[in-house]
Amino acid sequence: MPPAEPSLRWDGDAIVTLDQRALPHERRILRLTTVDDVIAAIATLAVRGAPAIGLAGAMGVALSAFKHCRPGAAGHCADAVRLDAQRLIAARPTAVNLAWAVHRALGRVPEGAHAVLQEATAMLQEDITANRTMVGHAVATVLAHTPDRPLRVLTHCNTGRLATAAVGTALGTIIALAEAGRIAEVLVGETRPLLQGARLTAWELAEAGVPHRLCIDSAPAAAMSQGLVDCVLVGADRIAANGDVANKIGTYSLAVAAAHHRIPFVVVAPESSWDRSLPDGSAIVIEERDDDEVTGFGGVKTAPPGTRAYNPAFDVTPADLITAVVSEHGVHRHER
Ligand code: MRU
């Protein structure tokens, strides 16, 4: 997958994507041809990152429409596609982009399967444009809040081209800053338990030639206290009306530590990550994942047999800990 190619695309009768479970050691291409394939890919994080799962979900609705909405099947077609759409949305509950994109694709079902596919590919193009625009706003925001020298920035999880259709959100911003000569070093949190930082962000930064070091998820507060962090940049899975942000587990503790050290904390996410139906973050559904992601790794048990785990995939950072939330529409500012 050359850098300019989107992380997922439609090809003939399938969604083609890079299997993120296999990275960085194997470049395995997946062809998803059924709704069940798409659900499994989203649930197991073969496709992951809020914008990417939204796009996969929308294309999943197209797969469903092509299956159920053959000429002459009109009566049952919409009901069958709606059921598939509900199953797609349930694959991961926290990122609002998934439900948003699936509903948008569903709106075109009365016009037929090709119209659904057209809507999904339009969303992919919009994500590419949104990435570029929000990165421009986010670069300006970071530079306005940081010293005038090459920066040490910290990021968490993966918010790059693997998680979107183009350059990414927070990671796209970091790469753009590096291209402008404004990055001294990126500290990458490894992102337990599935290691999106270690496996994916480190891979993308190496690909882009940006200097970086990996740290365990408990190291950032120490790094901040030693002056190794000028700014924290992260993405979002759902943003409530008051600016509370759900993102990868560990984001909240980064924001607490950054506030303590008066370090700017910037969230970069598309408008499709906003859920203004929720007044604040307390009603955001946080996905809880299997115990065995925590009690072992790579098929090897690390905890005693029978150990139970607390394994939320996301947490909610209160708006008052966030310096700015940046989207393709510009900067949503919060004082802290
Ligand atoms: O569980 P994941 O890997 O899908 O979690 C992803 C994140 O938390 C990202 O920060 C978020 O989706 C933004 S991706 C541009």
CATH number assigned to the domain comprising residue 87 = 1.20.120.420
Q: Which of 69, 93, 127 is the last residue of a domain?
A: 127
Active site annotation includes 237: yes
In a domain, 298, yes or no: yes
- Going by pLDDT thresholds of 50, 70 and 90, the confidence category of residue 256 is very high
**Catalytic residue chosen out of the listed positions 237, 244, 275, 315:** 237
- What pLDDT score does 1 carry? 44
pLDDT at residue number 335: 55
Q: Whose CA is nearest to atom 6 of ligand 1?
A: 49
With a 6 A CB cut-off, is 134 part of the ligand 1 pocket?
Answer: no
Residue 237: domain span? 133-334
294 and 229 share one domain: yes
User: Hey, what are 177's tokens?
Assistant: 């800053």
Q: What is the pLDDT of residue 70?
A: 78
Residue 2 pLDDT grade (very low, low, confident, very high; cuts 50, 70, 90)? very low
To test the ligand 1 pocket, which listed residue (98, 162, 237, 325) has its Cβ within 8 A of the most ligand atoms? 237
pLDDT at 134 over 90: yes
Do 80 and 163 lie in a common domain? no
**Ligand 1 and 192: CB distance under 6 A:** no
pLDDT at 242: 96
Shared-domain flag, residues 163 and 293:
yes
Greater model confidence, 335 or 57: 57
Q: Is the pLDDT of residue 332 over 70?
A: yes
CATH code of the domain covering residue 173 = 3.40.50.10470
Cα(160)–Cα(202) distance, integer angstroms: 10
Q: How confident is the model at residue 213 (pLDDT cuts 50, 70, 90)?
A: very high
Please state the domain count of the chain. Answer: 2
Map residue 253 onto helix, strand or coil.
helix
User: How far is ligand 1, taken at its centre, from the CA of residue 245, in Å?
Assistant: 12
In a domain, 2, yes or no: no
Asked whether residue 1 is domain-assigned, the answer is no
What is the helix (H) or strand (E) element at residue 217, kind and residue range? Answer: none
State the pLDDT at residue 216. 98
pLDDT tens per residue across span 36-84: 999 999 999 999 999 999 999 999 999 999 999 977 665 689 999 999 9
Q: CA nearest 231: which of 161, 156, 282, 327?
A: 156
Regarding whether 304 and 163 lie in a shared domain, the answer is yes
Count other Cβ atoms within 10 Å, centred on residue 74.
Answer: 12
Does ligand 1 have an atom closer than 6 angstroms to the CB of 257? no
Q: Is the pLDDT of residue 168 over 60?
A: yes
The mean predicted confidence, pLDDT, of the chain is: 95
Q: What is the pLDDT of residue 74?
A: 55
Measured CA to CA, the distance from residue 181 to residue 295 in angstroms comes to 42
pTM for the structure as a whole: 0.96
- Among candidate residues 101, 127, 153, the one where a domain is terminated: 127
Q: Are residues 170 and 282 in the same domain?
A: yes
Reply yes or no on whether the pLDDT at 299 is more than 90: no
Instruction: Check pocket membership of 51 for ligand 1, CB cut-off 6 A.
Output: yes
3 in a structural domain: no
